[in-house]
Amino acid sequence: MKVVKTVAELKDFVRAEKNAGHQIGLVPTMGFLHEGHLALAEKARKDNDAVIMSIFVNPLQFGPNEDFERYPRDVERDTKLAAAAGVDCLFVPEVEEMYPAPSVVTMTVAARTDKMCGVKRPGHFDGVVTVVTKLFHLAQPDKAYFGLKDAQQFAVIDGLVNSLNFPVEIIGVETIREEDGLAKSSRNVYLTEEERIQAPYLQKALQLGVQSAVQGEKSTEKVIERTISYLQEHAGAAVDYVELLSYPELEPLEQVQGKMVLAAAVNYSKARLIDNIIFNVNEGR
């Protein structure tokens, strides 16, 4: 596996792969890799001739009171894991390499951000689409892989690609979970022992809500209320939001119909967890 830290080195790698007629798969990450990230890399490995993974904690997507400085990092460990997962090129730039000067052009997401996590994170998805756009240009991937645990991020990137006609296919990969159902996340390390026991109830609450929708409940409000009630009883966390929206449009619905996402976020003492289930009532999940 080749490890590169500069834009010039990445361009050289991409040029060689393109000249060889190879298809490139891109796996953008912020590092501190877990099984969820590695599942993206393994899927990319199966689909492409060459796999590029980026590890970059993007400051543009962190708000002033968020955890940019304390976001977990372990590049040495990540390098070993990426190599084992079949990554061909690991791009690990410094902030100064990705943003060497103030940008002349800025990006603003016009839709799909006024719900879910976007409500309390103004500017977050502007930072996401900025770095993803740069990575698309630098890596020139045929396919790019994103976890569906962050369903809103995937919806925003779907909008980015379709609105600006990026020549890349985005692939959503199902959430990788612990044996008890908790979604793998770099932030799980911040849970206390008691919170770690309670955290799987986030997914169980969502399953309960989806079950009620699939079994015929037409009121989105009642599905949401049932999910919130279960969370409050079992999860031991402050409920940030529970929302049931069309997917990937992320529009509110008057009644349960079509393809939707039931998503939730909860706050523990030192960790904010998100999870979701994307489903289609017309297909019974």
Q: Known binder of ligand: residue 36?
A: yes
Residue at token pair 């080195």: 9
Q: Known binder of ligand: residue 32?
A: yes
Q: Known binder of ligand: residue 159?
A: no
Q: Known binder of ligand: residue 149?
A: yes
Q: Known binder of ligand: residue 184?
A: yes
Q: Known binder of ligand: residue 118?
A: no
Set 37, 124, 137, 234: catalytic member: 37
Residue at token pair 């919170």: 195
Q: Known binder of ligand: residue 150?
A: yes
Closest by alpha carbon to 67, among 76, 80, 58, 54?
58
Q: Which two tokens stand for residue 175?
A: 């959430």
The answer for residues whose C-beta is within 8 angstroms of residue 149's C-beta and 6 or more apart is 36, 175, 183, 184, 185, 274, 275, 276
Q: How far apart are CA 50 and CA 187, in angstroms?
A: 29
Whether the Cβ atoms of residue 47 and residue 164 lie closer than 8 Å to each other: no
Is residue 37 annotated as a catalytic residue, yes or no?
Answer: yes
Q: Known binder of ligand: residue 37?
A: yes
Would you list which residues are annotated within the binding site? 30-37, 61, 147-150, 153, 176, 184-187
Would you list which residues are annotated within the binding site for ATP? 30-37, 147-150, 176, 184-187
Residues with active-site annotation: 37
Would you list which residues are annotated within the binding site for beta-alanine? 61
Would you list which residues are annotated within the binding site for (R)-pantoate? 61, 153
